[in-house]
Structure 1
Amino acid sequence: MTNFKLSRLAKADWFGPLLATVIAIIVIRSFSPNFLSSFNIQTLLLAISINALIGFSQMIIIAIGQMNLSVGAIGGLAAISFAGLMEIWGLPAPIAAVLALGIGVLCGMLNGVLISITGISAFVITLATLSIYKGINLGITRAQPFYGIPDSVKELGSMTLFGAIPMLALPTVIVAIGLWYLLNRLPIGRFILAVGGNEHAASLSGISVRTVVVVAHSISGLLAACAGMLLVARLQIGQPSIGDDWLILSFAAPVIGGAVLAGGHVSVTATFLGVVVVALITQALVLFSIDPFLVQVVLGALILAAVGVNKLRGTAPVSRKA
C-alpha cells in the first residue's frame, strides 16, 4: 500500500516541480548563505506573485489546446492604460484598475471571437493581435513612461503583510484559488478541459466550443491585465515595455507544471510551482553574478526538458488535477 501511494504521488503533476524547488533551494543555499535572507525572500515572492499570473494567463489557453502569443501585449496595454487613466485623466486608482481590467477582458475576448468566427489558428490570430495591442500601447505613450503614479498605488507595491509577505502576493493567491475552483468545481472549467481534450467530442456532447474559447481567452486577458497592473505598482511607473518579455515565461511555467500543449490537462498547483522553479533559477543567476541574459537560455532548456519528461511519462490527455 505504501509503495502504491508513493508511486501515485510521484505521478502527480506537482510532485516534479516541488522536488525541483526543494533541490534548488538546498543547492542555492549551500553556495549562498544569504539566499534565504528576508530581502531575498521578499524579492523572490514579488517575482512569483506577478509571474504566476502570467503563467496562469497562458495556462488557461493551453487548457483548450491553443496558445496566446498576445499575453504580454495585453498585459502591457492594460498596464499603461491603468497608469495613464490615473496620470492624464486623474481617475482614482480603484476606477482606473476596473477599467484596465476591462480592457484586458475585451482584448482577450476579441482574440477568442476572431478565432471562433474565422476558424484561423490561435497562433496566427494572437500573433496579429500582439502587434495591434503593442501598436496601440506605443501610440498612447509615444514610447514614453507614465510617471504620475499615485502614492496609494506605490504604497501597495511596497507594502508587506506580517513584515515579510508582499501585499502583491494577495491577489495572486486569490486568483490561484479561484482558478483551481473554476477548473475543478464549475461546469465551465470542465467544459474548458473537455474542449482541450477533444473538441469534436465536446461539441457532440452539447458543449458550445465557441463560447468556451471566448470565455477562456477573456479569462486569459483578465489575468494578463492583472499582472500588468501589479507590475505598475511594483515598478511605480507605467512603462511601455511592460509585457515585452512575458512570452517564454508564460509557456515555461505551465509546461514545467506538466501541462499538455495539445490541451485538456493543466494544473494550477503545478503551474505555480513551475513559476517558483523559474524564479529560483533567476534569483540564483543574480546571486552568483551570472549574465542575466542566460535566463532566456535556461528557460528554453527547461521547456524542452519539461516537454520531454511529460512525453516520457505519457500523461493522460484528459485530466483536471490541480
Structure 2
Amino acid sequence: MARLISQSDWATPMIVAVSLGVLISLFNPAFLSTFNIQVLLEAVSINVLIALSQMVIIAIGQMNLSVGALGGLAAVIFAGLMEVFGLPPIVAGALALGVGLAGGFLNGLLIGLTGISAFVITLATLSIFKGLNLAITQAQPFYEIPDAVKHFGNATLFGPFPIIFVPAALIVVLLVVFFNRLPVGRWLLAVGGNAHSAELSGISTAKTVVIAHAISGFLAACAGVLLVARLQLGQPTIGDDWLIMSFAAPIIGGAILAGGHVSTVATVFGVLIVAQITQALVLFHIDPFFVQVVLGLMILAAVSVNQWRELRMQRAGQE
C-alpha cells in the first residue's frame, strides 16, 4: 500500500498539503478550529471545480481563458432566473448548467472548425461571455436568492463539512473514473500526448476537443452556481479572479501543460494547498492580495519541477 501511494501522481502534493496543514496549525492552533475547517472546505469545494474545468483542457494540451467568464455568466443566469422569473432553483440551476455546457461546446466547436488556437478563441469568448454577463446584470447583483439555495450554500451536513462539499466530491469521483476507466477520457489524454498519433489510431481530434471544452464549461458553470449559493447573491464579478487559480492547482498537481498527463486527485490536493496558504495569510493577518504573488511563485516552481522531471524521464529513456 505504501509503495502504491509513493508511486502515485498525487503522493507529492498530498505530502505537501498534509505537511503544510501541520506546520500552520503549530504556529496557529486556530487553523484546526471547526469554523476554520468549514471555511477551508467551502473554499475547496468551489475552487476544485474551477481547477478541474481547466485541468480537462490542459489534458488535451490547450488552455481555456474563458473559464471565469463562463462560470460567471452561468452564475448570474442562475440568480437572475430565480429573481426575475421566479423559476424554482432546480430549474434555474439546470438551465445555468446548460449555458455552461453550451458555452464550452461553442469554444470547442470554434477551435475545431477554424483551427485557431484555443488561446485566441477562448480569449475572444471570454469577452463575449463577460459582455453578456454585464448586459444581463447591468453591473448590478441579483439579491433575491431563495432561502433554500442560501441554506444549501452555507449549511453543514455534520461537524464542519458543508453541503456544497458533496457535489464537488461527487464530480471528483466521476472525473477519476472518466480519465481512468472510460475510453473518452483516454481519448483526451491521447490527443494531448500526440494529436497526430491519436488521429492515426482512429480518434477524432476535433470531436475530442469539443468534448473537453463542453466538460470544462459545465464544470465552470457548476462552480458558478455553487458560488451563488455560498455568497447568497448573483454578483456580476463572479469568475473575474478564477484564471490564476484554475491553472495553479492542476500545475501544482503535476499536470503537463503540453497535454497528455493530468491527475484529478493531485489537482484536488493542489487546490487544498492553495486554500491552506490563503487561510494562513488571513490567520497571520497578512495582506490577502499577497496570495496572488504566492500563486505566481508556486506556478513557476511547479512548472520548473515538471520540466525537470520530463527531462529526467527523457534522459532515462535514452540510456
What is the TM-score normalised by the length of structure 1? 0.95
1:45 corresponds in structure 2 to: 41
1:79 corresponds in structure 2 to: 75
- From 20, 30, 33, the counterpart of 2:29: 33
Q: 2:256 matched to 1:268? A: no
- SS of 2:239's equivalent in the other structure is coil
2:233 corresponds in structure 1 to: 237
Q: CA deviation at 1:132?
A: 0.5
- In the TM superposition, what are the counterparts of 1:1-322 in structure 2 within 5 Å? 6=3, 9-314=5-310
Please give the root-mean-square deviation of Cα atoms over the aligned residues, in Å.
1.4
Code of the aligned partner of 1:185: R
Runs of 4+ in structure 1 over 3 Å off = 8-11
Q: CA deviation at 1:9?
A: 4.7
Instruction: Single out whichever of 213-222 and 23-32 deviates more from structure 2.
Output: 23-32
Contact 2:255 2:263 in 1 (8 A): yes
Could you tell me how far apart the structure 1 residues matched to 2:159 and 2:43 are? 17
Q: CA deviation at 1:12?
A: 2.8
- SS of 2:9's equivalent in the other structure is coil
Unaligned runs of 5+ in 1: 318-322
Deviation digits for residues 44-84 of structure 1, max 9, x if unmatched?
00000000000000000000000000000000000000000
Q: CA deviation at 1:10?
A: 4.2
Could you tell me how far apart the structure 1 residues matched to 2:189 and 2:268 are? 18
Deviation digits for residues 8-45 of structure 1, max 9, x if unmatched?
75453211111111111111111101110000000000
- SS of 1:314's equivalent in the other structure is helix
Deviation digits for residues 238-273 of structure 1, max 9, x if unmatched?
000000000000000000000000001000000000
Could you tell me how far apart the structure 1 residues matched to 2:90 and 2:44 are? 23
Aligned residues: 313
Could you tell me how far apart the structure 2 residues matched to 1:223 and 1:162 are? 26
Code of the aligned partner of 1:166: P
Identity %: 64
Could you tell me how far apart the structure 2 residues matched to 1:218 and 1:205 are? 23
Code of the aligned partner of 1:207: I
- SS of 2:203's equivalent in the other structure is coil
Could you tell me how far apart the structure 1 residues matched to 2:171 and 2:60 are? 19
Could you tell me how far apart the structure 1 residues matched to 2:165 and 2:126 are? 27
Could you tell me how far apart the structure 2 residues matched to 1:33 and 1:89 are? 47
Q: CA deviation at 1:164?
A: 2.0
Could you tell me how far apart the structure 1 residues matched to 2:27 and 2:191 are? 46
- SS of 2:142's equivalent in the other structure is coil
Contact 2:34 2:159 in 1 (8 A): no
Contact 2:105 2:211 in 1 (8 A): yes
Q: CA deviation at 1:163?
A: 2.9
Deviation digits for residues 282-315 of structure 1, max 9, x if unmatched?
0000000001110100000000000111112228
- SS of 2:17's equivalent in the other structure is helix
Could you tell me how far apart the structure 2 residues matched to 1:303 and 1:63 are? 17
Could you tell me how far apart the structure 1 residues matched to 2:129 and 2:151 are? 29
Unaligned runs of 5+ in 2: 315-319
Code of the aligned partner of 2:197: A
What is the TM-score normalised by the length of structure 2? 0.96
